[in-house]
Chains A and B, each alone.
Chain A
Amino acid sequence: MSNDGHMVAEHTEQAKIKLDHVVIRFAGDSGDGMQLTGSQFSDTSAMLGNDIATFPNYPAEIRAPEGSVYGVSGFQVHIGEVEISTPGDDVDVLIAMNPAALKTNFSAVPKGKTIIVDIDEFTSKNLTRAGYDQNPLDDGSLDSYVIIKAPITQLSRETIKDMGLDNTSMNRTRNMFALGMVFWMFSRPLDYTIKFLEKKFGNKPNIFEANVKVLKAGYHYAETLELLPSAFTVLPAKMTEGTYRIIMGNTATAWGFLAAAENSKKQLFLGSYPITPASDILHELSAHQHFGVVTFQAEDEIAGVCSALGAAFTGDLAITTTSGPGLALKSEAIGLAVMTELPIIIVDVQRGGPSTGLPTKTEQADLLQAMYGRNGECPVIVVAPSTPANCFDFAYEASRLAMEHMTPVILLSDGYIANGSAPWRIRSIKDMQPINPAPSPEPEAAADWMPYLRDPETLARQWALPGMAGFEHRIGGLEKEDFTGHISYDPENHEHMVKRRAEKVKRVENHIPEQQIDGAQSGDLLVVGWGGTYGSLITAVKSLHEEGRSIGLAHFNYLNPLPRNTREIFTRFKKIVICELNMGQFATLLRSEFPEFQYLQYNKVQGLPFTVLELNEHFSGLLG
């Protein structure tokens, strides 16, 4: 396999080129429907059995001026017959619906690859808006690319000119023409998209028909056009047998909580305030009110977490969702949850920071905030999903740990996996690890019951709910005497309670799995990562390992407490490199936890994921 992980296989008798994987990016104005186009392509590919990974890239401005570079919206799809872990670094086929889309996406396309443009959009007005002095299609700057100049706008309009549609509706079908072309290039059938359009425009038969006509026109245009050098085909990936669906990270997170609520027989409560890129979890859970979920859109972030805490006191599986700035606002209430020893889950879908930072871009820079961003000695459990699909598993796991150990849990997702999608093999929730929330006391225990009576193994206190006769008790933010729960300013008791709360979190290590290593189990180089960077890291490590290099990947999902075999794993390698989309926060944690090891760092803080290429180069350098 070459460095960019791309390989052209053989010619078939249909003169189609078989690829083991290919990266396609749809780019256009935010009003051009690129997200829809891209997801139609990826969903169709998944149905054919390809593995896929997608990443939408949309502007922070909701309605940026048309044709401007900051109004460009993109959707990248990576499909393959091999296992796909990232949306891909280098673009094999770029569809640029206007000059601004070409300008902003051009650098992701290596020489020799294909760019499809809508030439109708390359007017002098649009070129100026995009900041081009001259037309890049004429000045020779694209000579080393395969450029397909298709009159997409004109042909779309021509196809439906007799249908009596207004101008805007006619122009809105352009994306279907482009999609039709790409469907033909990659031998995809149209029926999935036709079915989708039927649903979407069910009550507007005219619009439905126009879209289908243009989709087919694009398909046939590509078929008959000599400009297209060849057609490609991507064969199905070798994936585990089963029932699959395509799922986005935020949706998977929401569904994981639904599953946890059902398996723990708890009502699910979400207290939340809208914030990018976490709001989709609020939307998704609000749409599933039919499971008995109560979603409360609060007046602010603090009310979001405080309402969750009130619901937890009353016995719900209570969560709050946010992104970095919101986590900062919730700090004091998380401290109150630690003090009152109540289970809540705080989801932080990380974005670029500090402050408002880069709201629509990804970063991993909230780890230390999650670990330490509160007053006092205030430990919480921290877990992080690592793929769009396992957002489901870790939302479920966060719920299990919170309720079994009666302590808050922070779930660190990020913009990259939250908005990315991937195939997900569905399992029945009946096969998941059971959740046994801390018990409520039995009625006969009322006489000598105390609010801080603890489970001797987990140290979790019991969950006595308002409405239960005989267990009336008071909790709060003031330090409490252990067991009785009375307010206590006693110095010895305070230290004892600080240690108890720390010990309670530490003992969670006995209830989580050991850390696994992918690739070499010992040897020259251990790559360490956590959270949303898994896709890029595993792709890079796997390719080097397959080349026979002594390299392994320890990718952490449990960040506090760390898996109990962490130290032992680190002893097995000569070098350890910690890769993060921040300045080295996990490295800082590991240095203080296990100071006996030398840690190298590889960091990137650009609001972008790692590329496999840059990782490969860096690891190759370290391997010597």
Chain B
Amino acid sequence: MSELPNYTFKDFASDQEVRWCPGCGDYVILRAMQKALPMMGRRREDFVFVSGIGCSSRFPYYMNTYGFHGIHGRAPAIATGVKLANPKLSVWVITGDGDGLAIGGNHMIHAIRRNIDLNIILFNNKIYGLTKGQFSPTSDIGQKTKSSPYGNTQRPFNFGELAIGSAGQFYARVPDNNPNDMADIFVAAEKHHGTSVVEVLQNCVIFNDGAFDSMVDKSVREDMLLYLKQGEKMIFGKEKNKGIRFNARQLEAVTIGENGITEDDILVHDATDPNPSMHFMLTQLQYPLPVGVIRSVDSSTFEELVDTQVSASVQKSKFKSVDDLLFSGETYQV
């Protein structure tokens, strides 16, 4: 095998014209991915991007890697076949809140449950884009959309809760206006051994513009977002004077120096804790909104268990050819 080429982001851009609406958050994600792939130390031909249907799912066409644009909701199932057939590949699932959580919800939770080593990037814009503006499983109660002109009456999923509730071992959340952080998280997802789930808070400029602005806009994000870093205190705010403590069985945002609160009261983030309770609470926290790698726990993966079992059976087998099977056991002569 020849040496790993010195890739730049250009090596991962395909010759296809990108067709998302101008200003769509998807552009940032595409750029972050093309930036992240050269940082992973893997060969271009080993990347496979699998998608379903929706705006997000056009993604594979824009990547100069192997790609499979599937059918609505089924990308995790297709990707599972790819990974089982060749566990050496780096397999990515690109999906959205409609594709991955409505029509494809079943495949999503089962892929996560098995802990197959897929990297699932879910573009959450809280709306259906490609079908032109219906509410999705992550739309807010009361959200007015084409199919809920009087306000959405369906309670939403919190994808972080769902991922961790499905026995997820890696969950990260990232806004779409910070390509550098996003690229780092994609690299972390790739390095993680097992199903990695990344929720991108993605702005749909056409049908749900500004859905996350109150939290992620550059003017407020320092105060509204909690940037989680492994082993560091959960401190946020422009002045770095706010933090999260555990009080009365829940997480609470507090100001250091007020009411006798010191830095010692502030929690330290440990994404590697096998116990998911703290991670689960973090996914539920509304203010500040935690972003970054919330959970990252190493455990054996589905394809490893399959591969180990199959290889051991092949090793021990008394049959070297199907002929041995056909002529084995109860046969008789005529």
Contacts and interface: CB of A to CB of B under 8 A. Distances in A.
Given A243-B327, A486-B16, A299 B332 contact: no
A289 B77 contact: no
Contacts of A267: 85
Contacts of B67: 472-476
A36 interface: no
A426 B313 contact: no
B329 A245 contact: yes
B243 interface: no
Given A290-B317, A291-B317, A311 B82 contact: yes
Q: Interface centre among A255, A306, A470, by most B CB within 10 Å?
A: A306
A46 B334 CA distance: 10
Interface stretch (B41-49, B119-127, B143-151, B219-227): B41-49
25 contacts: A243-B333, A245-B331, A255-B322, A271-B81, A291-B319, A300-B106, A302-B77, A303-B77, A303-B80, A303-B107, A310-B78, A310-B82, A311-B81, A314-B85, A318-B81, A332-B71, A428-B326, A429-B321, A466-B45, A466-B89, A467-B45, A467-B88, A475-B68, A476-B69, A477-B71
Given A290-B317, A299-B107, A314 B82 contact: yes
Contacts of B61: 474, 476, 487
A246 B334 CA distance: 13
Contact of B332 (A47, A271, A309, A311): A47
Q: Which 3 A-B pairs have the closest CB atoms?
A: A310-B81, A476-B69, A290-B317
Nearest to A236: B334
Contacts of B325: 255, 258, 288, 291
A244 interface: yes
Contacts of B317: 290-291
Interface string A271-297: 100000000000000001111111010
A478 B69 contact: yes
Contacts of B329: 245
A83 interface: no
Contact of B84 (A294, A336, A473): A294
Contacts of B66: 466, 472-474
Nearest to B108: A299
Query: Size range of the interface on B?
Result: 35 or more
Interface string A296-329: 1011101100111111111110100000000000
Contacts of B86: 314-315, 465-467
A472 B310 contact: no
A49 interface: yes
Given A240-B334, A243-B327, A314-B89, A306 B78 contact: yes
Contacts of B330: 43, 47, 245-246
B235 interface: no
B58 to A, nearest CB: 9
Contacts of A243: 327, 331-333
A245 B333 CA distance: 9
Given A269-B85, A471-B45, A241 B334 contact: yes
Instruction: Please indicate which of the listed interface residues A244, A296, A478 has the most CB atoms of chain B within 10 Å of its own CB.
Output: A296
A325 to B, nearest CB: 17
A262 B321 contact: yes
B233 interface: no
Contacts of B167: none
B70 A306 contact: yes
Contacts of A468: 45
Contact of B316 (A259, A290, A316): A290
Contact of A306 (B44, B45, B74, B327): B74
Contacts of A376: none
Contacts of A476: 51, 60-61, 67-70
Contacts of A49: 332, 334
A532 to B, nearest CB: 23
A307 B314 contact: no
A354 interface: no
B44 A245 contact: no
A9 interface: no
A469 interface: yes
Contacts of B255: none
A307 B84 contact: yes
Contacts of A239: 334
Contact of B310 (A46, A289, A298, A315): A289
A18 B294 CA distance: 80
Contacts of A296: 80-81, 84, 306
Contacts of A292: 310, 314
A333 B306 contact: no
Given A294-B85, A306-B71, A311-B81, 13 more contacts: A239-B334, A269-B85, A296-B80, A303-B106, A309-B78, A310-B50, A310-B77, A315-B85, A336-B71, A466-B66, A467-B86, A467-B88, A472-B65
Contacts of B314: 289-292
Among A300, A309, A332, A425, chain B packs the most CB atoms within 10 A around the CB of A309
Contacts of B334: 49, 236, 239-242, 244, 425
Contact of B322 (A242, A258, A467, A478): A258
A296 B107 CA distance: 13
Interface in B280-317: 306, 309-310, 313-314, 316-317
B49 to A, nearest CB: 8
B79 interface: yes
Contacts of B53: 477
Interface in A434-476: 465-476
A428 B324 CA distance: 9
Given A333-B74, A428-B323, A487-B61, A469 B43 contact: yes
Interface string B192-228: 0000000000000000000000000000000000000
A204 interface: no
A60 to B, nearest CB: 26
Contact of A310 (B69, B79, B88, B333): B79
B45 A289 contact: no
B64 interface: yes
B14 interface: yes
A467 B87 CA distance: 11
B332 A244 contact: yes
B110 interface: yes
B10 to A, nearest CB: 14
Contacts of B110: 298-299, 303
Nearest to A296: B84
* Of B16, B61, B74, most A-chain CB atoms within 10 Å: B74
Nearest to B302: A296
Contact of A429 (B64, B68, B107, B323): B323
A244 B80 CA distance: 39
A474 B78 contact: no
Interface string B246-273: 0000000000000000000000000000
Contacts of B322: 255, 258-259, 262, 291, 429
A339 to B, nearest CB: 10
Nearest to A428: B323
Interface in A511-540: none
A466 B84 contact: no
B48 A466 contact: yes
A241 B51 CA distance: 55
B313 A289 contact: yes
Nearest to B321: A262
A312 B85 CA distance: 8
